[in-house]
Amino acid sequence: MRRLVKIVAFAIALPVLLAGLAVAVFFSLSDAQHRWLATRVVSALLDSPVEFRGPFSLDLARQPTLTARDIWIGMGPDGRPLGAPVEGRLGVVELRVDLGALLHGTVLLNRLVVESMDIELAPPERDETDGGTSWRERVRAIEERPVLFFETVQLSGIRILRRGALGAPPLFLELQEVSLEETGGAGGRILLNGDIAIDGLPFKLQGEFGSLAAARDPAVPYQAKLAILHPAFEATLEGQVEAPLAARGLDLQARLEVPDVQALETMMQGWPWPAGRMSAAGAITGDIEALRLGGLIAEFSGPEGRSIEISGEIADALELRGASLDLTARLP
């Protein structure tokens, strides 16, 4: 019996000892060895060869900080692409991680800086519009990943080109300047400001969110506000979430204002848009896997007193099912 107890105790202690040994070995590595290890890990994650060509340093502490410059992805020694799933170059990357947050199952990036990035992504292996994967299945796949939370983010000069599949047009995303800054110290707010462009169309992002401490506090609903601004429209999302780390208990108000509908022609070429004004509002409630759009009111007001109004609700907002809508038109 005593021997069995020793065997069980050894079996329990062995993984802890091995983990401690691995941590000790990792902390004793040099920057060159950390560079080698990072090259192998990032290459495996991106399924593309990665080379850290510039200065590389890893400061190991409670908040380990990685700084790297001139990173080549999917590129040969002569700078030509190799046909990898991810190809391009990054000028500067700085990453700081809070190890304490990992104990709560959260990946907290205290600081993320990315500058001068040009990346080209291979097209998806299949047409994403073929109905093979539902929105609910995609949401569940995201839920299975670790929770990712940011405190400070600075992105500038980022250009991402995704090649289209099956003759579809490519998608070009440009992050000119995007910042995420925590204010008010611990327990304060996180402010988002950004200027981006999608296929050349400019957008401005403005947001205000609670801190990670607020997200963990079950006694107080998590507050969130996001605005997407374009010369042709303004979209806002504002409200609270009971359990943000699990994406449960959403209670958000969504609004869309289009002062001049014809201005949308610059976004959706080939679509004839009538003169007039359009607005829409509704409440997004429920859990991330079972979202409901209620209190929906969408109205178009045109010249000569013409108007169209749609009101009602959509029980399954993810799959656009269970719609109960009323249509009212005034066409004098």
Q: Are residues 70 and 101 in the same domain?
A: yes
Each residue of 174-208: pLDDT tens digit?
999 999 998 876 567 899 999 999 988 899 999 99
Residue 159 has what pLDDT?
A: 95
Q: Exposed/middle/buried for 77, CB within 10 Å: 0-12, 13-18, 19+?
A: exposed
Instruction: State if pTM tops 0.75.
Output: yes
Token pair for 186: 């611990």
Indicate the residue among 164, 186, 216 that finishes a domain: 216
Residue 28 has what pLDDT?
A: 59
Structural domain including 299 reads: 235-332
Q: Are residues 85 and 134 in the same domain?
A: yes
Q: Are residues 153 and 113 in the same domain?
A: yes
Rg over alpha carbons for the chain, rounded to the nearest Å, is: 25
Residue 62 has what pLDDT?
A: 73
Residue 22 has what pLDDT?
A: 43
13 falls within a domain: no
Q: Are residues 199 and 243 in the same domain?
A: no
91 falls within a domain: yes
pLDDT in tens, the chain (332 residues): 444 333 334 334 334 433 443 444 455 567 788 788 888 888 888 888 999 999 998 887 778 888 999 999 988 887 788 888 889 999 999 999 887 777 777 788 889 999 999 999 888 765 544 455 666 676 666 656 667 788 889 999 999 998 887 777 888 999 999 999 988 765 678 999 999 999 888 999 999 998 888 888 888 899 999 999 998 899 999 999 998 888 889 999 999 999 988 888 777 666 677 888 999 999 999 998 889 999 999 999 988 788 999 999 999 888 888 999 999 988 87
Residue 189 is classified by DSSP as E
Residue 215 has what pLDDT?
A: 85
Q: Are residues 178 and 321 in the same domain?
A: no
Q: Are residues 241 and 329 in the same domain?
A: yes
DSSP 102-163: HTTTEEEEEEEEEEEEEEEEPPPSS-TTSSSS-HHHHHHHHHTSPEEEES-EEEEEEEEEEP
Q: Are residues 145 and 53 in the same domain?
A: yes
* Angle, alpha carbons 99-207-172 (nearest 5°): 90
Residue 133 has what pLDDT?
A: 60
225 falls within a domain: no
* Domains of the chain: total: 2
Residue 161 has what pLDDT?
A: 92
Each residue of 27-54: pLDDT tens digit?
556 778 878 888 888 888 888 899 999 9
